[in-house]
Structure 1
Amino acid sequence: MQSSSKEIRLIISITAGIWCISLLVFLFIGFKTGASLFLTAVYGVWNLVIFAGAYWRISRNINQVLGKVDNCIQSMIDGTPVKEFSATEESLLGKFQTQIEKLYYILNSAKDREKTAHEEISELVADLVHQVNTPLTNIQMYCSFLTQDTLSDKEKTQICGVIDSQVEKLGWFAEGFTKTVRLESDIRKLEPKKQPILNMVLSAVDQISLKAKMQGNEICLSGAQDIEAVYDRRWTEEALFNILDNAVKYGQKNMPVQIYMEAYDLFARIDVTNYGTVIPKEDYTKIFQRFYRGKNAALIKDGVGLGLYLAREIITGQGGYLKVESKKETGNIFSLFLRMEK
């Protein structure tokens, strides 16, 4: 508003100058002619004309400025921002325009994020419905087989086993879907802070220990145990558990699952190594996609393909990353990287 203020001050100065000159002229004429009453009336009317003109000019200037402000705001509402004031001008209006422009882009980015999140949830629901249809169809088909009187007890038992496995698969879908939706809403609320990683690793190991024991897998922990990293404890523990669960599920029985921790300059690294079928290199990027299951995985164990997807989303959401590589053709190494500093 600096330029407008200068213009208003100039109008007032000119008006004051005209008024002073007029006063001197009328005093001179009155002194020469002695017509004081008439000149006083004329002088009063002249004053009204001068200040009415000044008021009109200032009012017009203010209305023009407010019109530009209104146009600037309306253009942002319409989605086509127009700059009415110079961004380089050191004035209140220039600063106001810059600040409201920043607010416009902040609100738009929030709107875009909301739209993206909505699209992701819609895509997730569509994927889930597609994935759920298969076990539901299988259950319906095998239930119809049970109505046949020609089936033996052994065949009925086998069919019941198939139905039970399909129901279990639906349970995995429900659990995975719940976690995914919860993650989608909480991913922007992750609260990473610098803290030791050992307690988080031990908690994840406790969760998988019973399943590992049933498989004959011993969880072996090694490496630096005094590392601190920046991460959200609750969600990162969930990510590591999913990786450990994957290692136990697809690893060889009676073989160890190894956890190794190491500190780098920028990242803390947690390796989870198992022995079993090697993941093909062409699947390295695909296995982190939602609902993706490699051919080898599908042949070995039932699953829904959400565990590694959730793990990757959690780790990348905190500025880290996740990768996989083979271990000399005898197993796989999943490496989880967490930032060392904020």
Structure 2
Amino acid sequence: MSILLERNTRHYYIFLFGLMGAFVLWTCFLSWFHGKETQDILFAREQTMVSSLMEQGVSPAALANAIKNSQSTGEGMALMQKIGHTDAAPVRFFPAIDQSVHLFARIAVGMVMILMVFLAGVTMRFLWKREKLYCEAEDIIARFSEGDFKKHLPQNENGSIYQLFAAVEELAVALRAQNEKEQQMKTFLKDTISDISHQLKTPLAALHMYTEIIAEEPDHRETVERFSGKTMQSLERMEQLVQTLLKVSRIDAGSIVFRKEKQSVSGLVADAIEDLSVRARMEGKQLLLKGDLQEEVVCDREWTREAIANLVKNALDHTDAGGVITVFWERSPAMFRLSVTDDGCGIDEEDMHHIFKRFYRSKRDSDRQGIGLGLSLAKSIVEGQGGILSVNSTPGEGAAFTIIFLTDM
């Protein structure tokens, strides 16, 4: 019985059974005592009768036969009835028996009262302890509902009530995790809105200025064309910001289901750098691909292409004209690894722990392209597929970003 697993309840039941045993023993003692008292009364009565009859001249042999006789006669019963000694006579007419009955009753009532008081006291203590436990649990659960999880429900014993406490504690842990997640989401939303506002402020201000310039010189074709182009660049930057934020948010919210299939690595990389190759040529930079052309990797093609493209774009942003960006891949028995390396300016030590944060930009990147979301998106994509994105860099010598996917054993 699970109810007996709890220590206090078990002790209470042990007490009840012990009390019942004591009551049975006491009843047996009272029965023996009553029998002994009755025996003494009968013996004293017989002694009195024998003494009286011997004084009246009745022979000892007749008295002995009378005592041993177990049968009654009609004459005897008539005589007993005549003198009023019948089974219908009140007990008070028999002083010795009446005294014995009263003594036995007082002893029995006293013992029952003692047992009842003892039972009531132990029961009250048991219920007091249980009420104290319930009040403590009620207070802790109320704190849980208010978001305070510093105290914990008692779980140091066995029993149904403690099993219930354990279940409530598990629920509280889940509630706490949910509460922390909601707080993180609120903080994230607040920071995201702040970052978006900051990022949109510059292109919006530029759009406002460009519109005013065009409005002031509508007949000046060169000015209109020039600032119309700048307006398009600002709009494209805003669109890129919104689209990238949507992608990052969808991944973080878990609404993206990565469809992992075998892909040709060379085809995947070529697809990722297709548009960036034009930019590299225009900026006088080299894009090199190195790796087994027959190599394959299991991943989501579209999202992995996006991650590689962001890494290559980041390398282009931080490499001067004449620089070389290399995309290299290889497989070992334990993993597949793809690296994007450049010989650009590298990453300062103080920036190494922040480069994957959203909207983070180094102090020296103020004059470079980008909005600080590419690396964050790449990391979310890779880790969302169970991979790892790491970085190594030496300031002034370039940087190397490495995507690792473990091989299924």
TM-score (norm 2): 0.63
Unaligned residue ranges in structure 1 (runs of 5+) = none
SS of aligned partner of 2:291: strand
> Please, which of 227, 238, 250 is the counterpart of residue 182 of structure 1?
250
Shift of 1:179: 1.7
CA distance in 1, matches of 2:274, 2:291: 16
CA distance in 1, matches of 2:152, 2:246: 45
CA contact (8 A) 1:219 1:257 kept: yes
CA distance in 2, matches of 1:150, 1:191: 50
Shift of 1:295: 6.7
Distance of aligned partners of 1:224 and 1:149 in 2 relative to their CA distance in 1, 3 Å threshold: closer
Distance of aligned partners of 1:227 and 1:313 in 2 relative to their CA distance in 1, 3 Å threshold: same
Corresponding residue of 2:63: none
CA distance in 2, matches of 1:166, 1:59: 79
Corresponding residue of 2:28: 24
Corresponding residue of 1:322: 390
CA contact (8 A) 2:307 2:378 kept: yes
TM-score (norm 1): 0.74
Shift of 1:90: 6.1
The AA in structure 2 aligned to 1:222 is G
Shift of 1:169: 0.9
CA distance in 1, matches of 2:27, 2:278: 106
CA distance in 2, matches of 1:285, 1:22: 81
> Please, which of 5, 9, 12 is the counterpart of residue 8 of structure 1?
12
Distance of aligned partners of 1:42 and 1:284 in 2 relative to their CA distance in 1, 3 Å threshold: closer
CA distance in 1, matches of 2:101, 2:304: 93
Shift of 1:141: 1.1
- Residues 234-271 of structure 1: per-residue CA shift (max 9 Å, x gap): 75554334213434566678987543223468754310
Shift of 1:96: 5.9
SS of aligned partner of 1:292: coil
Corresponding residue of 2:182: 114
Within the alignment, does 1:165 sit opposite 2:233 as a pair? yes
CA distance in 2, matches of 1:162, 1:122: 30
The 10-residue stretch of structure 1 (306-315 or 168-177) with the greater mean CA deviation from structure 2: 306-315
SS of aligned partner of 2:346: coil
1:220-299 matched pairs, under 5 angstroms? 220-223=289-292, 236=304, 238-247=306-315, 258-263=326-331, 268-274=336-342, 277-282=344-349, 283-294=351-362, 299=367
| Larger-Rg structure | 2
Backbone CA RMSD of aligned residues: 4.5
CA contact (8 A) 1:247 1:257 kept: yes
Distance of aligned partners of 1:333 and 1:25 in 2 relative to their CA distance in 1, 3 Å threshold: closer
CA contact (8 A) 2:358 2:372 kept: yes
CA distance in 2, matches of 1:197, 1:121: 36
CA distance in 1, matches of 2:253, 2:266: 25
> Please, which of 304, 307, 312 is the counterpart of residue 371 of structure 2?
304
SS of aligned partner of 2:193: helix
> Please, which of 123, 145, 153 is the counterpart of residue 221 of structure 2?
153
CA distance in 1, matches of 2:300, 2:168: 34
Task: Report percent identity of matched pairs.
Answer: 18
Distance of aligned partners of 1:10 and 1:294 in 2 relative to their CA distance in 1, 3 Å threshold: closer
1:124-135 matched pairs, under 5 angstroms? 124-135=192-203
Within the alignment, does 1:81 sit opposite 2:151 as a pair? yes
Corresponding residue of 2:403: 336
The size of the alignment, in residue pairs, is: 333
1:87-98 matched pairs, under 5 angstroms? 87=156
SS of aligned partner of 1:335: strand
1:202-213 matched pairs, under 5 angstroms? 202-203=267-268, 205-212=270-277
